[in-house]
Structure 1
Amino acid sequence: MASKAEKMSREEAGRMGGLKTARSKGKSFFKEIGKKGGKSTAETHNSNFYQEIGKKGGNSTSRSQTKEFYQQIGKKGGLASSSKD
């Protein structure tokens, strides 16, 4: 972290602000603003928007992960869904 004599970077200032907000507001604050953001996004975008960002995320993940990664998450998903029955 920068000393008072040094200028703080935007990244450092953002991190400090985020930590201060997290300490003062708590998890419920972030949960509520996330819910509001999700509702707002759903109202302003159609299903093609979600398909497009899902495809982008999937492509990005597939380039950076291994076969073992997908086997592991598949196994976890299978266990989680079988425990709901």
Structure 2
Amino acid sequence: MSTVEAGRKGGSVVRDKYGGEYYRQIGKKGGTALKEKRGSEYYRQIAQKGGQANVSKYGPAHFSEMGKKGGNATKARQDPDFYSRIGKLGGAARRRKKAEAQE
């Protein structure tokens, strides 16, 4: 049995014994511990590195295409008034922020 097969078998036994929720809990616990140890700035830095790596790998056009796909999927999923409603919400928030700044 290879190391990979042994690891997979062990992981399956743990999953069957404790369930999928177990992995979510230990993942959350590990993430919280890492945040306490390294701070939230650490996450910002690794996200930035990951984003830069993706731009290098796929190029800017890839992200434009992904944005269009996401917009089209949202358009298909929502009713025709969706963009009108969220536009008004954004405009109202901007007006509130501007009014608060003037006070």
State if a TM-score over 0.5 links the two structures. yes
* Identity fraction in percent: 23
Structure 1 stretch 37-46 or stretch 54-63: which is displaced more? 54-63
Structure with higher Rg: it is 2
Q: TM-score, normalised by structure 1?
A: 0.63
Q: TM-score, normalised by structure 2?
A: 0.54
**1:68 shift after superposition:** 2.0
Q: Where in structure 1 are there 5+ consecutive unaligned residues?
A: 1-5
Alignment of 1:1-85 (within 5 A): 7=18, 9-62=22-75, 63=77, 66=82, 67-73=84-90, 75=91, 76=93
Q: Where in structure 2 are there 5+ consecutive unaligned residues?
A: 1-16
Runs of 4+ in 1 over 6 A off after TM superposition: none
Residues matched between the structures, number: 75
Paired residue type of 1:39: Q
Structure that is richer in helix per residue: 2
> Residue 22 and residue 41 in structure 1: after superposition, are their counterparts in 2 closer, same or farther (change >3 A)?
same
